[in-house]
Amino acid sequence: MVAPVQPGDVLLGKYKVERVLGQGGMGVVVAARHQHLGELFAVKFLLPEALKDEEAVGRFLREARASARLKGEHVARVHDVGRLDTGAPYMLMEHLQGSDLKEVVRSRGPLPVEEAIAYVLQACDAIGEAHALGIIHRDLKPANMFLIRRPNGMPCVKVLDFGISKQITPDNVDLTRTGAMLGSPLYMSPEQMFRTKHVDTRSDIWALGVVLYELVTGTLPFLAQTLTEVVGLVLQEEPLLPSQHRPGLPPALDAVVSRCLQKKPEHRFQSIEELMQALRAVLGGVVPWDRVSSPSNPSLQGYAPGPGSAPGLGQTPPGHLAQTPRRSWATRPREGCRARRPPGRSRCRAWAIRPARCLESRERPGTCWRPGTSRRVGRASSRSFSSRRRQGSRSRPAVSG
């Protein structure tokens, strides 16, 4: 498709187009230099055919208004909004030089944990500002997180494309054909897929969990070849833990990602601040990793975090365990950790991971019980469970986001 503007064209009588940065089905982004100031800007505007779509125009204007309200360092600044001579709405934005995080992972592979968390924390800073203003992003993904360098050489993540529609357009449902949708399904929360009126800030928290998963593993938690299969996985399946794709990742990271990807919004982190506190705890090794999980979980009663825990961790509502799908996980301190802890490890930091559907009974140590029943099912064995999980690991064909 030929872009409606070409290098050398002048927009608004003062912005000379130098090159086309990108073009999609609805709009174009060009790099244009102010002829008097000499400063380079990015100009985003709708294609002529999109002007007939009132929803597309409204969505563009919502994005412009939302972006213009955000002033933080980690948001692409919007300097002007208006209409071109053609009547197409436009946004004049700061010009960014760098790469999006999708390209970074594609070229480098999985990132070091510290680097990935640092990038997500910067994105959280932008999203936290948006949430405080009542703005939900709805399309967070590595391709919408742009990595630039500050003047001192330090990396800085800029979150792009605020305010897109919550709807999936009928002409973009074939993932294998375009891989691009409004509210990309590979990063969408379950409620965003069908209950768009109930989408709130916790949908962005889900998406940030998917982003973190991808940054540290190089893959996605829900992969399939068709939209229908992706929807089925997101709604019904529990993903493999990040450490099952990349052995050696800290259990704390598994716990944070797993909580972000809870099917029910009330079981996730309830705010960006909670998520950021959990990520900082992982980054600094502040608290035992299971405290990122759910102390109000029936299986964790009696193991609530102590006074030294980071605030905001471990606030999953009661009843979470009984409602957790078969393949999900729960965490708890190992019984008798004094005798079982590895040499050199503090007793309070000796933790074990157990399947959420088969946890060791506190009344009868050494036996398992299933939530909702009184039936014992045999000896508890975290080792045999771990081996079964490894044997059950499987890969799915990839779909680009």
Of the residues 9, 85, 125, 139, only one is catalytic, namely 139
Residue whose token pair is 């608290």: 287
Residue whose token pair is 């090159």: 19
Show the CA angle centred on residue 305, arms to residues 299 and 307, nearest 5°.
Answer: 160
Which of 348, 385, 401, 342 is closest to 141 using CA atoms?
401
Contacts of 197 (CB under 8 A, 6+ apart): none
53 catalytically annotated: no
Contacts of 312 (CB under 8 A, 6+ apart): 269, 271, 273, 274, 277, 278
Residue 44, marked binder = yes
First-last CA distance in the chain: 22
**Cα 92 versus chain centre, distance:** 27
CB 81 within 8 A of CB 130: no
Rounded to whole angstroms, the Cα distance separating 253 from 115 reads 13
**Cα 219 versus chain centre, distance:** 13
Structure tokens at 297: 């979980």
Q: Binding site for ATP: what residues are annotated?
A: 44
Residues assigned a catalytic role? 139
